[in-house]
Chain A
Amino acid sequence: MTRSLAPRSLSFSRLAIYSTLILACALYLIPLIVMLLTSFKSPEDIRTGNLLSWPEVITGIGWIKAWDTVGGYFWNSVKITVPAVVISTLLGALNGYVLSMWRFRGSQLFFGLLLFGCFLPFQTVLLPASFTLGKLGLASTTSGLVLVHIVYGLAFTTLFFRNYYCSVPEALVRAARLDGAGFFTIFGRILLPMSVPIIMVCLIWQFTQIWNDFLFGVVFASGDAQPITVALNNLVNTSTGVKEYNVDMAAAMIAGLPTLLVYVLAGKYFLRGLTAGAVKG
């Protein structure tokens, strides 16, 4: 066992720092706590108690009802998010590889134009996108929504990978070419294995963006194919019947849990990867 040699004194400034941190932490956590507590309460409990009171009886009825309502849409979201994230990350990696290691005449301009995609608000592409999907025969299909997410995500994933690969010495690619490796072999055997941190960044970023997306979902998907964010909105915004806050809160938790899980699992890569390509590029 190792013991810290520093004296364990609790000075006033330490105390001030910790209490500020705890306060800030509480401020961020209270909405989550309210959601969790409410989701486990019964409707009577919600009416009689206050927001932060402990449930008199912990009941899963809200969660069961919520899952019955939005569960199907949860799987819709999975079907939209997983392919869109994987494909946009892979294509972004390939784009970044070309734009950093196989520069062609005008590739800088190409990259600059691609970057515009990062600054385009969702709303501006709605009409052109729906027009294009209509022409492609993909209107109101899950594949169509996936395509929109891939195209919109490419600008970000390309930027991430291109900047990451710019810090990789070009000599590696040259050495591999002399060793007899081709374009895709170099990509798959040399560069991708080095890219774990930036792949994690892309996965987290794209997953959060696509899973949490509401606008594309509400515009390009219809009926039973809608993602969970749209279903949650429909559930919460119903104006008929009694408001079932426990169900609303549980459904919101169900909609938010996957992103939370992704951050917990891959979060340490996120900071590392974001700063990795940032210095050079």
Chain B
Amino acid sequence: MATLELRNVNKSYGSGLPDTLKNIELSIDSGEFLILVGPSGCGKSTLMNCIAGLEQISGGAILVDDADISGMSPKDRDIAMVFQSYALYPTMNVRDNIAFGLKMRKMPAAAIDEEVARVAKLLQIEHLLTRKPGQLSGGQQQRVAMGRALARRPKIYLFDEPLSNLDAKLRVEMRTEIKLMHQRLKTTTVYVTHDQIEAMTLGDKVAVMKDGLIQQFGTPQQIYNDPANLFVASFIGSPPMNFIPLRLQRKDGRLLALLDSGQARCELPLGFNVAGLEDREVILGMRPEQIALAPAQANGLPSIRAEVQITEPTGPDLLVFVTLNQTKVCCRLAPDVPTQVGDTLNLQFDPARVLLFDAATGERLGVAAPAPASKDNVAQFKGR
């Protein structure tokens, strides 16, 4: 149980090379679960290695419980890590693998036995204790790797993409188990992943990284509903957010986004009003679930008729692709919507949740204030 704070952390592998980490500022409370997420090469694993002490930072400070640990060697930091490849010692059996860190810390033998037994029970690997890692399945190896980290009762756990070597089914199982484990033990955890579903489901806080910079740091809901820029908006969410390039207009004092499906046009009034945005190239961001089928009688929300080009039934949803402003747009509809390729659907949007980004910089434009939505509107979008 410890707080973790990163102050202006920098990492560079030599002058002339671009910095791997740039001015990282983060802080999490004791017991919180922090996710570092981003595409490969964004610096998330480097950041984790820096926290662990496996790599030295070039500038800034890493604080655990308000004490600077950035000069300490890994073994003095009281941090345990679960590796992507599990990194189990191949010549030792499971018991010795779990006990190794305790032996290194000169714990008495009786206490080690007790600790191994506790961890083995917790992870249900008691029957595997005498086996070598080579005789275990991927999921079992994963448990042992977690056991090794748990046994030391460290201040902070680090997970480096621990689920990426498992098959899809096991991954979902282990994800739930990691969450359960964290809820029981309440140990401060940093978890690196490139999987945005893991980021959304596991984290108390999420830091989205790209090119060594933190793009956004917040709760999963903030990241999802209120992304700081185009990158965060596109990285989080599956199917991804739709991005429609367009030019804004001002009419009767309101900002309007013009949508064109080829067979119809629609003026979408935006839920916020910022001066200076009209006549600028912007990108409109809309999540697939924010596009719905318009009800039979008009409810006052803007709608547009568009031709269905592709349908992808996923089971719980039906993904329908239409073209708006020459861009492919994905709509997430209920699976029982009777539609086929070539049909025309009447789609409507929730103007309050639409996001705007600068076409050139990708920065978020204007902050969407919750617009006074009609009752029908709220009910309709809640029901989805």
On whether the beta carbons of B85 and A176 are closer than 8 Å, the reply is: no
B63-95 vs A, CB cutoff 8 Å, 1 = contact: the mask equals 000000000011100011101111101111000
B31-39, B97-105, B274-282 - interface stretch: B97-105
Please tell me which one of the listed residues A172, A181, A190, A193 contacts residue B75 in the complex, with CB atoms under 8 A apart: A181
Expressed in whole angstroms, the Cα–Cα distance for A185 and B105 within the complex equals: 12
Please indicate the chain A residues that have their CB under 8 angstroms from the CB of B92 in the complex.
193
Expressed in whole angstroms, the Cα–Cα distance for A177 and B79 within the complex equals: 11
On whether the beta carbons of B100 and A171 are closer than 8 Å, the reply is: no
Expressed in whole angstroms, the Cα–Cα distance for A179 and B154 within the complex equals: 10
Given A185-B104, A194-B90 in contact, is the A178-B85 Cβ separation under 8 Å?
Answer: no
Given A172-B89, A185-B104, A194-B91 in contact, is the A179-B75 Cβ separation under 8 Å?
Answer: yes
Please indicate the chain B residues that have their CB under 8 angstroms from the CB of A185 in the complex.
104
B52 at the interface (CB under 8 A from A): yes
**Which interface class (under 10, 10 to 19, 20 to 34, 35 or more) fits B?**
20 to 34
Expressed in whole angstroms, the Cα–Cα distance for A93 and B92 within the complex equals: 20
A280 at the interface (CB under 8 A from B): no
Expressed in whole angstroms, the Cα–Cα distance for A176 and B86 within the complex equals: 12
Chain A interface main SS type: helix
Shortest C-beta distance, A274 to chain B (Å), equals 20
A241 at the interface (CB under 8 A from B): no
On whether the beta carbons of A171 and B87 are closer than 8 Å, the reply is: yes
B185 at the interface (CB under 8 A from A): no
Shortest C-beta distance, B90 to chain A (Å), equals 6
Shortest C-beta distance, B179 to chain A (Å), equals 23
Expressed in whole angstroms, the Cα–Cα distance for A224 and B107 within the complex equals: 55
On whether the beta carbons of A174 and B75 are closer than 8 Å, the reply is: no
On whether the beta carbons of A171 and B104 are closer than 8 Å, the reply is: no
Please tell me which one of the listed residues B53, B80, B83, B101 contacts residue A171 in the complex, with CB atoms under 8 A apart: B83
Please indicate the chain B residues that have their CB under 8 angstroms from the CB of A181 in the complex.
75, 100, 104
Given A174-B54, A174-B81 in contact, is the A180-B104 Cβ separation under 8 Å?
Answer: yes
Please indicate the chain B residues that have their CB under 8 angstroms from the CB of A189 in the complex.
89, 100
Shortest C-beta distance, B99 to chain A (Å), equals 10
On whether the beta carbons of A171 and B84 are closer than 8 Å, the reply is: yes
B174-199 vs A, CB cutoff 8 Å, 1 = contact: the mask equals 00000000000000000000000000
Please tell me which one of the listed residues B81, B86, B89 contacts residue A178 in the complex, with CB atoms under 8 A apart: B81
Interface residues of A in 173-199 (CB under 8 A from B): 174-182, 185, 189-190, 193-194
Please indicate the chain B residues that have their CB under 8 angstroms from the CB of A172 in the complex.
87, 89-90
On whether the beta carbons of B54 and A177 are closer than 8 Å, the reply is: yes
On whether the beta carbons of A180 and B105 are closer than 8 Å, the reply is: yes
On whether the beta carbons of B54 and A179 are closer than 8 Å, the reply is: no
On whether the beta carbons of B74 and A190 are closer than 8 Å, the reply is: no
Interface residues of B in 84-138 (CB under 8 A from A): 84-87, 89-92, 100-101, 104-105
Shortest C-beta distance, A272 to chain B (Å), equals 16
Please indicate the chain A residues that have their CB under 8 angstroms from the CB of B80 in the complex.
178
Expressed in whole angstroms, the Cα–Cα distance for A137 and B179 within the complex equals: 68
Given A178-B52, A179-B75, A194-B90 in contact, is the A169-B85 Cβ separation under 8 Å?
Answer: yes
Please indicate the chain B residues that have their CB under 8 angstroms from the CB of A194 in the complex.
90-91
A5-39 vs B, CB cutoff 8 Å, 1 = contact: the mask equals 00000000000000000000000000000000000
Expressed in whole angstroms, the Cα–Cα distance for A81 and B365 within the complex equals: 77
Expressed in whole angstroms, the Cα–Cα distance for A175 and B85 within the complex equals: 11
Expressed in whole angstroms, the Cα–Cα distance for A194 and B83 within the complex equals: 19
Nearest B residue to A174 via CB reads B54
Please indicate the chain B residues that have their CB under 8 angstroms from the CB of A178 in the complex.
52-54, 74-75, 79-81, 101
Expressed in whole angstroms, the Cα–Cα distance for A182 and B76 within the complex equals: 11
Expressed in whole angstroms, the Cα–Cα distance for A178 and B145 within the complex equals: 13
Nearest B residue to A171 via CB reads B87
Given A180-B105, A185-B104 in contact, is the A174-B83 Cβ separation under 8 Å?
Answer: yes
Nearest A residue to B79 via CB reads A178
Shortest C-beta distance, B257 to chain A (Å), equals 49
Expressed in whole angstroms, the Cα–Cα distance for A169 and B52 within the complex equals: 18
Expressed in whole angstroms, the Cα–Cα distance for A149 and B169 within the complex equals: 57
Nearest B residue to A172 via CB reads B87
Expressed in whole angstroms, the Cα–Cα distance for A190 and B298 within the complex equals: 71
Query: Would you list the 6 A-B pairs with minimal beta carbon distance, nearest first?
Result: A179-B101, A180-B104, A171-B87, A180-B75, A193-B91, A175-B87
New A-B contacts (6) at CB < 8 Å, excluding given A179-B101, A180-B104: A174-B54, A178-B52, A178-B53, A178-B80, A179-B100, A193-B92
Query: Could you give 13 example pairs across A and B, Cβ below 8 Å?
Result: A171-B84, A171-B85, A175-B81, A175-B89, A177-B74, A178-B52, A178-B54, A178-B81, A178-B101, A179-B100, A180-B105, A190-B89, A193-B92
